[in-house]
Structure 1
Amino acid sequence: MSQKIYFDESGFTGNNLLHPSQNYFAYASVASDDDEAKAIVERLIKKYNIQSGELKGANLVKFAKGRKAISEILEAFEGRIKISISDKKFALAGKVHEYIFEPCYSDVNSLFYRIGFHRFIANILYTEFMARGAGAEELFAEFESLMRELDGKGLQTIFSSSDASHSETLRMIREFAQKRHSDIQKELDSLADGETGKWVLDLTDSALFTLLANWGTQYEQLTAICDHSKPLLANQEMYNGMICNTKKVFSRLVDGQEHPVTFNLSGPIEFADSRTTHGIQLADTIAAAAVFVFSGKVDESTEHWRSIIACQAHYGSVIPDMEEVKLENTRSKLNALVLHQLHDRAMRGVDLIEGAREMIIDLTLSLSPPTYRMNHR
């Protein structure tokens, strides 16, 4: 029997990840069925005298009785909730790696993912953004504009608008992007040809896919019911490929741990109206609670929510991790050296792919204790 999973979001701003008042995006899911969801929603509406006749998380978090209703939902569905939450500025930093660096070594990208280079770039850019203010902010805004337009206009001089205030790291990233502009242009051209490219910075698709993959480890078959979403409607092909799929595939590409990358759908994703689909109202409320907690709001309710949400908000979540850029860590040192090497090769016009494996091995060994180096030569 297929398990129904309801999905909804909070903090959606599409391709605008620098929205000044929406710093977090949450995509929440809850395993239930129509009868259970309806019974709980109708009971809470009556108990807390919710006038709209519909649970809307963005409204409930504002008032004490609404937060009590949210607490009841989180308790009732504990163990049947999964959430993906993203810091949008950090997510944008991650997109810089995805669309500036990766196109330049896509044929051997697994080498760089295995050492966590993507996380290093995202975290160091985020650190620059939070610490440097205007200079880094202009770089982020320029990149966001590039990805919205997808025309590659000005790629040869990208990130030059505020180069005087750039740190050494931002300078290397700027110069790398300018020198490798033709690789980046090819990637943009491939995106510009399809409907998916219109939502290239949006976080909905990756959140939904990761949540479904993790639900797929718990249930043999899933029925996905989502609130209407333009980004999702534009990209149904990869979900349709999972209909009646019974293969369970896991990937170790990103961090060496096994992550599910397949699931079994009973049919195409169903899009429903939240006003008449009570399960979506529950997901909406959970998503709003997650954003409320991560935004730093503190009261009796959020302290209660925090422990529940923390256990359920790690499915594809995109959150900074400063351990990735602490140079006392060997991996951080390695990735800093890799950035220098990539920048150097770009500046000299040297092939980035040729000898990349050997480069990473040599740099790894250079940071290892002498006995380890001797044993691995």
Structure 2
Amino acid sequence: MSQKIYFDESGFTGNNLLHPKQNYFAYASVATDDDEARALVEKLTKKYNIQGGELKGANLVKFSKGRKVITEVLDAFDGRIKISISDKKFALAGKFHEYIFEPCYSSINSIFYGIGFHRFIANVLYMEFTARGAGAEELFSEFESLMREGTGQNLETIFSSSAVAEHSDTIRLIREFAQVRHQDIRSELESLTDGETGKWVLDLTNTALYTLLANWGSEHDVLTAVCDHSKPLRHNQELFNAMVGNTKKLTSDFGGEEHPITFNLSGPIEFASSHDTHGIQIADAIAAAAVYVFSGARDEASDRWRHIIVRQAHYGSVVPDMDELRLGSQRPQLNTLVLHQLHQRAMKGLSLTEGMPEAIANMGRSLRFSPYSAA
């Protein structure tokens, strides 16, 4: 028997991850059925006299009465909720590695993912953005524009507008690396020029939905996915359609952690309106609560929600981890050395892949014997 899972989001801004008033994106899911969801929504709208008879999370979090509604929703479905939450600026920093660095060594990218280089770069950029202000904002803004437009013009001087004295030496290395390897970056951008793909290249919806479904699939043999209408999801259905009727349960140890990567859908993703689908309204309220909590709200409701939200908000979530930058640890030291090695090779016109696995292994061995002096 198929388990219905309802999905909805809060904080959606598409390719605009630098939206000044929407710092977080949450994609929430709840395992229920039409009858249970309808009964709860009708009960709550009547009990709290909710206008329109519909739960709208963005409105509910604004008022004490609405927050009481969300509390009842979370209590009713605790244990049947999964949430993906993303800090948008950090997600953009992660995309930076994906489209600026990875195209330059794609043939051996598993080596770099294995040492967490992608996480190192994302956290370095995020730290610069939050700690150093205007110059880093220029770099992020220029990268976001580059990805949205996808033209690849003036790549030879990319990020020059963000070259300010306040920047760390690490940002200089990243900027110069990107400028020298502009041909690799241009080739990657050209692969996104089919219009719609480039239009949603920075959007977080597809990845969040896929990760949530994969984790639900580890609990249920067959899933029926019901989502609110979404342009990014409607555009890209290939990955999800490939899971219709799939019975293989595969995992990946990407990044050193094992994750489920397959699931079994009863059919293509179903799209429905929140007005007519009570399960989507439940998911919408949960997503709004997640954004409310992660945005730093401190009140009686958010304090009560926090233990539920945090426990359920780790499925593909994209949030910073400053442990990736603690130079007292060997992994950040190694990734710092790797960045210097990549920059040095790029500036000299040398191959970024030939002999690199061996070089990384040698650096790792040196750090194990002399973790501070080697770094």
Q: Could you state the TM-score of these two structures normalised by the residue count of structure 2?
A: 0.97
Summarize deviations over 1:268-324 as a string: whole Å, max 9, x none.
000001000000000000000000000000111100000001110000000001000
**Local SS of the residue matching 1:225:** strand
Summarize deviations over 1:193-247 as a string: whole Å, max 9, x none.
2522210000001100000000000000100000000000110011100000001
**Local SS of the residue matching 1:86:** strand
1:310 corresponds to: 310
1:50 corresponds to: 50
**Local SS of the residue matching 1:30:** strand
The whole-number CA distance in structure 2 between the counterparts of 1:295 and 1:194 is: 33
**Local SS of the residue matching 2:248:** coil
Alignment of 1:19-34 (within 5 A): 19-34=19-34
The whole-number CA distance in structure 1 between the counterparts of 2:299 and 2:170 is: 39
Runs of 4+ in 1 over 6 A off after TM superposition: none
Aligned length: 369
**Local SS of the residue matching 1:6:** strand
2:204 corresponds to: 203
Summarize deviations over 1:328-357 as a string: whole Å, max 9, x none.
111010001100001111111111011111
The whole-number CA distance in structure 2 between the counterparts of 1:158 and 1:312 is: 39
The whole-number CA distance in structure 2 between the counterparts of 1:69 and 1:182 is: 53
The whole-number CA distance in structure 1 between the counterparts of 2:216 and 2:343 is: 41
The whole-number CA distance in structure 2 between the counterparts of 1:97 and 1:180 is: 13
2:218 corresponds to: 217
1:13 corresponds to: 13
**Local SS of the residue matching 2:7:** strand
Q: Does 1:121 align with 2:121?
A: yes
Alignment of 1:149-298 (within 5 A): 149-165=149-165, 166-193=167-194, 195-254=196-255, 256-298=256-298
Q: Does 1:136 align with 2:136?
A: yes
Does the 8 Å CA contact 1:195/1:235 hold for their aligned counterparts? Answer: no
The whole-number CA distance in structure 1 between the counterparts of 2:103 and 2:369 is: 34
1:66 corresponds to: 66
Note the C-alpha offset of 1:150: 0.6
User: What stretches of structure 2 of length at least 5 have no aligned partner?
Assistant: 371-375
The whole-number CA distance in structure 2 between the counterparts of 1:196 and 1:238 is: 14
More displaced stretch, 289-298 vs 361-370: 361-370
Note the C-alpha offset of 1:63: 0.8
Q: Could you state the TM-score of these two structures normalised by the residue count of structure 1?
A: 0.97
Amino acid paired to 1:73: V
- Percent identity over the alignment is 72
1:375 corresponds to: none
The whole-number CA distance in structure 1 between the counterparts of 2:265 and 2:189 is: 31
The whole-number CA distance in structure 1 between the counterparts of 2:175 and 2:277 is: 48
Summarize deviations over 1:60-94 as a string: whole Å, max 9, x none.
00111111110111111011000000000000000
The whole-number CA distance in structure 1 between the counterparts of 2:154 and 2:130 is: 26
1:85 corresponds to: 85
